[in-house]
Chains A and B, each alone.
Chain A
């Protein structure tokens, strides 16, 4: 394991920014959800990298946090996609710029 910790952190930052760019730039609600999942994954990678390179890897704290975070992400994706499908039934679109009923 000669890869320095900073390279893992840079990989995580790259993934986060790619997910962020997708989440703010795309029109499809499903793609925005994928972008949010990518950002969550980048955070998880940070947890694992800090756990592995930390001074006390026996504590397993990072691993536990990531396990719970994966569970939360699963719940979030399920509810988010259900919302997308419910909106699609109502409006026949998943494009975010078409969902503007509250627009004045």
Chain B
């Protein structure tokens, strides 16, 4: 099976991209690496037979959130780290050590547990038709709530980002409509 051969390089690539996204100096590089890591995770979802989630991940994360992050990075230009200034917080070493301890604390029990060493059952089809039926019957209330939440988030984000001083209305008006577009795409 090509499936299980592909898993380890893919996992290594995804983790490497995530590390790059968290450690590179240049914010635009970080955003692009994060987008690639999200795409790698989408491929892992496809490998796990969750096609719809994989494509939703591609659309939402690579299509919308990554674009939003790049927009935010470019709109907050002029904030680069000056030469000699650190791009990490003062106690970053403590944070990395805590994260490593956390990883050991999670991964060692996982690898030691015999019940998690199982193989997948043969077929687990999640056809889009069944997902749609479930969404419209069993999960219709959560679906409506998500619709309300996305509308509220859309309005809230526009309100937060659009506030401008009366005298500075000419040079600060372009970011408002520009930032609204990706969020509209997201709520569809």
List the A side residues contacting B106 at CB < 8 Å.
13, 16-17
**Shortest distance from the beta carbon of B75 to any chain A beta carbon, whole Å:** 6
Interface flags, B152-181, vs A, CB<8A=1, else 0: 111011101101100000001001000100
A99 CB-CB contact with B under 8 Å? no
Cα–Cα, bound, A10→B7 (Å)? 12
**Shortest distance from the beta carbon of A85 to any chain B beta carbon, whole Å:** 5
With contact pairs A74-B65, A85-B175 given, residues A53 and B118 touching in the complex (Cβ less than 8 Å): yes
A92 CB-CB contact with B under 8 Å? yes
Closest to A81 in B: B72
Cα–Cα, bound, A62→B131 (Å)? 11
A70, A71, A88, A95: residue with the most chain B Cβ atoms closer than 10 Å: A71
Interface flags, B100-142, vs A, CB<8A=1, else 0: 1011001100110100111111001010001100110001001
Determine chain B's interface SS by DSSP, over half rule.
Answer: helix
Cα–Cα, bound, A35→B22 (Å)? 7
Interface flags, A27-38, vs B, CB<8A=1, else 0: 110110111011
Interface residues in A39-60 by Cβ distance below 8 A to B read: 41, 44-45, 48-49, 51-53, 55, 57-58, 60
B18 with A75: CB separation less than 8 A:
no
List the A side residues contacting B36 at CB < 8 Å.
none
With contact pairs A35-B22, A48-B53 given, residues A4 and B117 touching in the complex (Cβ less than 8 Å): yes
Cα–Cα, bound, A76→B161 (Å)? 14
List the A side residues contacting B19 at CB < 8 Å.
18
Interface residues in A62-104 by Cβ distance below 8 A to B read: 62-64, 66-68, 70-79, 81-86, 88-89, 92-97
With contact pairs A60-B126, A64-B139, A68-B146 given, residues A31 and B30 touching in the complex (Cβ less than 8 Å): yes
List the B side residues contacting A89 at CB < 8 Å.
163-164, 172
B27 with A10: CB separation less than 8 A:
no
Closest to B64 in A: A74
Cα–Cα, bound, A7→B158 (Å)? 41
A2 with B124: CB separation less than 8 A:
no
Contact of B69 among A17, A34, A48, A49 (CB under 8 A): A34
List the B side residues contacting A81 at CB < 8 Å.
68-69, 71-72, 157, 179
A78 with B48: CB separation less than 8 A:
no
| Interface residues of A, Cβ cutoff 8 Å to B | 1-11, 13-22, 24-28, 30-31, 33-35, 37-38, 41, 44-45, 48-49, 51-53, 55, 57-58, 60, 62-64, 66-68, 70-79, 81-86, 88-89, 92-97
Q: Can you list 14 pairs linking A and B with CB atoms under 8 Å apart?
A: A14-B15, A17-B100, A18-B18, A20-B102, A25-B88, A27-B88, A48-B53, A49-B48, A52-B124, A67-B52, A74-B150, A77-B69, A84-B72, A92-B78
